[in-house]
Amino acid sequence: MGIVKALMTAVALGVLAGCHSPTVRYDYDAKANYSNIKTYDWMAAPKQAAPGANPLMETRVKRAVDGELLFKGIRREATGDPDVLVSAYILYQAETSRGPRVGLGVGISPFRGLGIGVSAPLGGRRRVLVGSLVVEVQDFKSKQLIWKSVSEGALEEASSPEDTDKDVAEAVRKMLSKFPPKG
């Protein structure tokens, strides 16, 4: 039975390695004063974000950013002088998806012992839109970018709007986990 456990462990690890997890990167101006950030307002996204834009997705993203910033004690100040301006947008890229190329299965039968099967996918390629989420923070007074985070591949087709809401909220939470930077 030791070989069966080893094979099952290898298969499980292979499945987990195949799961896609978005890559989150961030950068910031180390000389900026983040301790004074208490308020923000939204600024328009750059024009490069427009192709393939989905207004429902943009609303989800803004809602998620609003919630995360409020959780951090940073409130929206739509009138007056906010401390920072925030922009959140999605960059879409069309990718060709084929699904898994090879599947591996292991089974045990009381009559034949251990069995291993290999399979190949049926069907053709399909094009899917994969979105990378970008959040930028700029100082209100100087208009200088002070913080930026990108979650590559964060927004893929989900099975339902509720699943999409969860995916967006999780991506935004990871992106803003290091904002504002600790001095």
Instruction: List the domain boundaries for the chain.
Output: 2-178
CA angle 90–91–97, rounded 5-degree value: 115
**Crossing angle of the two packed helices 55-71 and 161-175, in degrees rounded to 10:** 50
Residue % of the chain over a pLDDT of 70: 61
Query: What is the share, in percent, of the chain residues with pLDDT greater than 90?
Result: 42
Tell me if the pTM is above 0.85: no
- Which pair of tokens denotes residue 40? 């923000």
HSE of 116 in the Cβ direction (CA atoms, 13 Å)?
7
Distance CA 43, CA 59 (A): 14
Q: Which CATH class is domain 2-178?
A: alpha beta
Q: Which residue has the higher pLDDT, 178 or 3?
A: 178
Under 8 Å between Cβ of 181 and 27: no
41-78 confidence digits (pLDDT tens):
999 877 655 555 678 888 999 999 999 999 999 999 98
